[in-house]
Chains A and B, each alone.
Chain A
Amino acid sequence: MLELEKVDSFYGNSHILHQVSFAIPSGSFTAVVGRNGMGKTMLLKTIMGLTDRVRGSLLLNTHPLTPLPTHCRAKAGLAYVPQGREIISQFTVKENILMGCYARLDGKKKMPELALELFPYLKDNLNRRAGLLSGGQQQQLAIARALAAKPAVLLLDEPTEGIQPNIVEQIEQAITRLNQDFGLTIVLVEQNIAFARRAAQQFIMLNNGAIAAKGSIHELSDELVHRYMAV
């Protein structure tokens, strides 16, 4: 259970999240939607402790996250796949994946079999330099790295943005399977409403850094989408 209670978050002098409260049950799939610049990425960064200042309470399985620095939050079970992948381009595919293991509590260096099964391209190119991979392959790599940490909660920021269609489908299937077959809690920032409706159980709609609507995914009506997301 990931709980946010009246969270305000700041980046420098700008107040980017206003009184955000919600609860994400273990094993659930939550889609965070909204226009660009409404605070979706900042919400994930706030959960990872990457913003400058936070008020309010963040709890993971009733343990407070607020006092923990980012690397301890990773060890507490949060894994983050950022927008733009941010893989280490000088490392090989294998080194990138194993990097996720620094967040494992047992400290073991083990390749996540599941991730290699989901993304066979990675399995066949373990010794390739990650910088040489295409955008879609790097995205798969970033997800594999997050899985290497054996996380409890996976935070994904627009994982299919700007990626060629055949890989988009592979990534969407992988994310859905991770939740349905392996019970991983997923928080997905997504612009693609169709995918959010297919995969998620609940949604959070952000508008100007505050929650505009939230609830079960069936309540994400066309009217809501039109009001908060039409450009």
Chain B
Amino acid sequence: MLSSILSGLSIGSVLLLVALGLTVIYGSMGIINMAHGELVMLGAYVTVFSERFLRLPFLLCLPLAFGVTAGLGLLIERVVVRRLYGRLLDTLLATWGIGIILQQVIRLSFGPELQNVSVPGFLTGEYRIGEVSLQAYRLAIFLVALALFAIALLILYRTDFGTQLRAVTQNPQISACNGINVNQIRSYTFALGSGLAGVAGVMVSGFNAVSPTMGTNYVVDSFIVVVVGGVSSLVGTVASSALLGSVNSVVAWMSNDVLAKVVLLGLAIAVIRFFPKGLFTIQSR
């Protein structure tokens, strides 16, 4: 039981890692970024690239991937998303298209086969707590997820950029009337969300095979996390990834993985049925 809770936390932290960037973009800009999974994939390929050509230490790939995907996010916002504000379905299709392009670019340049990334020695061991074993890498994912969450909170609630972003989220027109450059804030937000996806990709590459289509699996789960948690709440994202991760692993421990997935989806549907705005919403009048 204890081990299944630990594994639930570890599944939850992967969910959180991937969902964080999605929450930032969806929650504050109302944009469903269908290319999010591909940005995660790109982050993973930054690790592959660095291992092959740059020989950078694994941990240095985190900031590198952040830079690459954030830059790409900035470009995507400036060139495509900016022209489609207020047109939900169009942004959905456009970002999906961008996702497909990214997949193909990677497939053409790295090949369609699975890639493996080797993680440094200090992340491969196992710790034993009583009779439960805990993989060092799972612990690292957990810590990185928490650190990113803390950084995201800090950016949103303790910086000028964050204050402006929260103002723009609530009322873009009046924010502009108060001297806030709404377009610039939105670009940076999209870049931030994309960068977080890239970091998630690096961490994911350490325990799962890297392939051009890997993003799709992650992005579906993270959408469920974001919707269950409440779209504009970072705390909700954390709570719902922990909840969904634990439910998943407890059910998987009692029966099997397939049933766990079914229960997960059922739970998500039930939550949305009774709390259409998610579990954590900000009340305002």
- Seen from chain A, the residues whose Cβ lies within 8 Å of a Cβ on chain B are 48, 50, 69-71, 74-75, 79-80, 82, 86, 88-91, 95, 99-100, 102-104, 131, 145, 149
Q: A82 with B170: in contact, given A71-B182, A90-B284 (CB under 8 Å)?
A: no
Contacts of B285 in A (CB 8 A): 89, 131
Interface 1/0s, chain B 261-285, versus A by CB < 8 A? Answer: 0000000000000000000001011
In this complex, the interface size class of chain B, counting residues with CB under 8 Å from chain A, is 10 to 19
Contacts of A71 in B (CB 8 A): 176-182
A-B contact pairs, 16 of them (CB 8 A): A48-B177, A71-B176, A71-B177, A71-B179, A71-B182, A74-B177, A74-B178, A82-B174, A86-B173, A88-B170, A90-B284, A91-B167, A99-B167, A102-B164, A103-B178, A149-B178
B173 and chain A: residue at smallest CB distance: A50
Q: A69 with B284: in contact, given A88-B170, A91-B166, A99-B163 (CB under 8 Å)?
A: no
Partner of A88, one of B167, B176, B182: B167
Contacts of A89 in B (CB 8 A): 170, 284-285
B183 and chain A: residue at smallest CB distance: A69
Chain A nearest CB from B62 CB (Å) reads: 32
Q: B163 near A70 (CB under 8 angstroms)? A: no
Partner of B171, one of A75, A79, A88, A102: A88
B282 and chain A: residue at smallest CB distance: A90
Contacts of A70 in B (CB 8 A): 173, 176-177
- Docked Cα-Cα span, A90 to B176, in Å, equals 18
Excluding A90-B170, A131-B285, A145-B178, 9 further A-B contacts by CB distance (< 8 Å) are A48-B177, A69-B176, A70-B176, A74-B178, A82-B174, A86-B174, A90-B282, A103-B179, A104-B179
- Docked Cα-Cα span, A70 to B175, in Å, equals 9
